[in-house]
Amino acid sequence: MKKCGCFEKNQWYELEKIVGSEYVITDQSEKDVQSIDVWWMTRYCFFQQENFPQPSVIVFPENTDQVRKIVQFCLIHKIHYLARGGGAGDGGGSIPLKGGLVIDLKRMDKIIELNERSLTVRVQAGILQKHLEEFLNRKGYTMNHFPASFNTSALGGFISTNGTGVLSSKYGKISDMVHQLEVVLPNGNLFKSLPVRLHSTGPDYSRLFFGAEGTFGIITEALCKIHYLPEKRSFRAFLLSNLQKGIEAGRQIMVKGLNPCLLRLYDEYDTRHILQKQYGLEKEGCVLIIGFDGMKKIVEAQEEVAYSILEQNEGEDLGEKLAVNWWDNRYRSYYPPLDYICEPWMTAVMDTVAPYEKIETIYWEMKKGVEEGFKSWNAIFHAHFSHWYDWGTSFYPTFLLKDFPSNPHEAIRLYNQILDICVQASIQNGGVVNEHHGIGMRFNRFMKDVSEENYQFSQIIKKALDPESLLNPGKLGLGE
Ligand SMILES: Cc1cc2nc3c(=O)[nH]c(=O)nc-3n(C[C@H](O)[C@H](O)[C@H](O)COP(=O)(O)OP(=O)(O)OC[C@H]3O[C@@H](n4cnc5c(N)ncnc54)[C@H](O)[C@@H]3O)c2cc1C
């Protein structure tokens, strides 16, 4: 006889009363989807391991009040729960480690208010970034947040990992783009930060939730900054003979007060892997793509100064075509068949950020650690420098092993050994554990190493907000 799961449904009747029966899902296929994200380890283990952690139930609320009631339900019944946006995180942040309940926020995708005088938009946090941007574009605006997972991730997900898009050098991280947050706390109460961020009315507590990866509360609404669509947006590529020259040129552009929306420097391997293979470049070296946007006159004045800095640093002007082509296809290299996501290879990104005097050392230490330390596995390391500021820059390194042990335990050990080398290279040379993908489970073990004080402080906050650790346990180095 085919079993129907009716006993399980009975248990969730209270949830059905909150969101409606069609939005309480216990189907195995949905549980499978909600069990994984895009982390290599998750996908690898999902197919290797029996009893991979999975939720008991997935709930789809449509407003803040429903989220509060679901959280109160979890509190009363002592059920673990977590929030899920697009599920495109790549560190295991949305894996329901202890089972329980997944609160999928995709129905919370409403635009609440567009303010065309102060240029803000108030939205529910489950909205996909792509849908928010499409709405704004139709009205003549943009949020200017363009991460490579733009099509698949939600605003709440980006806030939770403090994500960064390709135009960050001018528009900043997501934390620079949000004025106000509404959050359902683990005790079921609602928190709303003050309507403006730049005040002297006590600490700006909204900052607590940027990068908290859903361990301190569930973000339900945000008031975001928007901009007019630019009158002009231009891109140009330059070829630098080596990485050092490229970093120095980028540094000069940023510290001299120029405001490029895009600055992206590829190392030699990435120049070959991405710009030669995918965009037909026929030269060797390090390509730097620079972009400006805004009012035409200002863009042109900035272009002139920036291009002369690049020339002084012996940058060869490759013109607009390659750069514009890159912009038009900017997400393609992150997805199959061009990226490694679906390949049966072992891979990870370990993005980091540091001041200018430290960043190059971190890059070379990581590269040496991977390529020399794991030579017997033909380990490959490559990177691009993608988010630049007037005090430092970040880079996005990838390691790749096309061959790795067939024994899962050995494979996982090897993966973690490579992560150890890379993350320690960053921490020991003045960098951080991660720049924009977050910690999730992947980097849990490094949270103490990067700063014992920071780690203790986050434990105090977690204990105060969620003493029973019901909300997303085992992430961000918090709880097991
Ligand atoms: C191909 C690819 C390219 C990527 N490129 C970029 C990039 O350029 N820049 C970048 O920053 N990231 C990038 N990422 C990483 C990923 O998109 C981000 O980590 C993003 O923040 C995840 O958002 P999501 O909605 O998919 O979140 P999920 O994967 O659903 O969740 C991620 C974490 O956030 C928590 N969370 C989600 N929603 C909420 C909420 N409303 N309240 C509280 N907690 C919540 C979850 O519990 C989990 O801990 C990329 C990922 C992929 C697969």
Measured from the Cα of 437, ligand 1's closest atom is 19
| Mean pLDDT computed over every residue of the chain | 95
Instruction: For residue 470, give every residue at least 6 positions away whose Cβ sits within 8 Å of its Cβ, in sequence order, or none.
Output: 74, 75, 78, 79, 80, 81, 100, 186
pLDDT digits (tens, 9 = 90+) for 141-158: 999 999 999 999 999 999
Cβ atoms of 57 and 77 within 8 Å: the answer is: no
Q: Indicate the residue type of 469.
A: S
Q: What is the pLDDT of residue 11?
A: 81
Calpha distance 158→180 (Å, rounded):
15
- pLDDT at residue 2 greater than cutoff 70: no
Last residue of a domain, one of 296, 313, 334: 334
- pLDDT at residue 247 greater than cutoff 80: yes
Q: What is the pLDDT of residue 336?
A: 78
221 plus 276 within the same structural domain: no
Q: Could you tell me if residue 69 is inside a domain?
A: yes
CB atoms within 10 A of CB 260: 23
Residue in 67, 106, 161, 173 to alter for ligand 1 test, most ligand atoms within 8 A of Cβ: 161
In this prediction, residues 213-223 reach a mean pLDDT of 98
Instruction: Please give the ipTM for the structure prediction.
Output: 0.99
443 Cα to the center of ligand 1, angstroms: 15
60 plus 89 within the same structural domain: yes
Please give the structure tokens belonging to residue 76. 């009363």
22 plus 54 within the same structural domain: yes
| Nearest Cα residue to atom 2 of ligand 1 | 149
Q: What is the pLDDT of residue 87?
A: 96
236 plus 220 within the same structural domain: no
305 plus 414 within the same structural domain: no
Closest alpha carbon to 102 in 131, 69, 63, 74: 74
- pLDDT at residue 214 greater than cutoff 90: yes
Which ranges in 148-242 belong to alpha helices (H)? 155-161, 168-171
255 Cα to the center of ligand 1, angstroms: 30
Cβ atoms of 170 and 259 within 8 Å: the answer is: yes
Q: What is the pLDDT of residue 275?
A: 94
Q: What is the pLDDT of residue 342?
A: 64
Last residue of a domain, one of 104, 124, 157: 104
413 Cα to the center of ligand 1, angstroms: 25
Closest alpha carbon to 223 in 190, 253, 184, 196: 196
CB atoms within 10 A of CB 402: 14
314 Cα to the center of ligand 1, angstroms: 38
Instruction: For residue 387, give every residue at least 6 positions away whose Cβ sits within 8 Å of its Cβ, in sequence order, or none.
Output: 164, 168, 169, 173, 353, 393, 394, 435, 436
In this prediction, residues 9-38 reach a mean pLDDT of 93
161 Cα to the center of ligand 1, angstroms: 6
CATH number of the domain encompassing residue 195: 3.30.465.10
- In this structure, what are the phi and psi dihedrals at residue 396, rounded to the nearest 5 degrees? -115, 90
Whether the ω angle into residue 337 lies within 30 degrees of 0, i.e. cis, is: yes
pLDDT digits (tens, 9 = 90+) for 296-321: 999 999 999 999 999 999 999 999 99
Please give the structure tokens belonging to residue 363. 């890059």
Percent of the chain with pLDDT over 70: 98
User: What DSSP letter does each residue of 34-69 carry, written as one string?
Assistant: TT--S-HHHHHHHHH-TT----SEEE---SHHHHHH
| β-pair type (101-104, 57-59) | parallel
322 plus 359 within the same structural domain: no
Q: Could you tell me if residue 273 is inside a domain?
A: yes
- pLDDT at residue 283 greater than cutoff 90: yes
CATH number of the domain encompassing residue 89: 3.30.43.10
Calpha distance 14→131 (Å, rounded):
32
Calpha distance 148→142 (Å, rounded):
16
84 plus 176 within the same structural domain: no
> What range does the domain containing 266 cover?
232-334
211 plus 117 within the same structural domain: yes
79 plus 166 within the same structural domain: no
Percent of the chain with pLDDT over 90: 93
Q: Strand, helix or coil at 290?
A: strand
Q: What is the pLDDT of residue 434?
A: 94
CATH number of the domain encompassing residue 310: 3.30.70.3450
467 Cα to the center of ligand 1, angstroms: 25
94 Cα to the center of ligand 1, angstroms: 9
Measured from the Cα of 341, ligand 1's closest atom is 1
CB crowding 163-174: b at 16 or more within 10 Å, else e: bbbbbbbbbbbb
Cβ atoms of 261 and 292 within 8 Å: the answer is: yes
45 plus 79 within the same structural domain: yes
Q: Could you tell me if residue 413 is inside a domain?
A: yes
Q: What is the pLDDT of residue 5?
A: 60
- pLDDT at residue 386 greater than cutoff 80: yes
Q: Could you tell me if residue 87 is inside a domain?
A: yes
Q: What is the pLDDT of residue 7?
A: 63
- Ligand 1 pocket: which residues have CB below 6 Å? 37-38, 82-90, 93-94, 105, 125, 147-149, 153-154, 156-158, 160-161, 163-164, 213-214, 218-219, 334, 436-438, 472, 475
Q: What is the pLDDT of residue 10?
A: 76
Q: Could you tell me if residue 380 is inside a domain?
A: yes
Q: Could you tell me if residue 75 is inside a domain?
A: yes
| Nearest Cα residue to atom 28 of ligand 1 | 87
Q: Could you tell me if residue 27 is inside a domain?
A: yes
In this prediction, residues 408-426 reach a mean pLDDT of 96
Q: Indicate the residue type of 432.
A: V
Last residue of a domain, one of 104, 130, 160: 104
221 plus 122 within the same structural domain: yes
3-state DSSP: the chain helix, strand, coil percent, rounded to 5? 40, 20, 40
98 plus 22 within the same structural domain: yes
Calpha distance 446→432 (Å, rounded):
10
Confidence of residue 344 (pLDDT cuts 50, 70, 90): confident
| Nearest Cα residue to atom 10 of ligand 1 | 163
Calpha distance 458→439 (Å, rounded):
13
pLDDT digits (tens, 9 = 90+) for 42-54: 999 998 888 899 9
Task: Give the E-state strand segments of 412-454 in sequence order.
Answer: none
In this prediction, residues 8-22 reach a mean pLDDT of 89
Q: Could you tell me if residue 452 is inside a domain?
A: no
CB crowding 131-162: b at 16 or more within 10 Å, else e: bbbebbeeeebbbbbbbbbbebbbbbbbbbbb
Q: What is the pLDDT of residue 282?
A: 94
Domain count along the chain: 4
Task: Give the E-state strand segments of 324-375 in sequence order.
Answer: 346-349, 352-355
158 Cα to the center of ligand 1, angstroms: 5
- pLDDT at residue 3 greater than cutoff 90: no
Closest alpha carbon to 36 in 49, 25, 23: 49
pLDDT digits (tens, 9 = 90+) for 93-109: 999 999 999 999 999 99
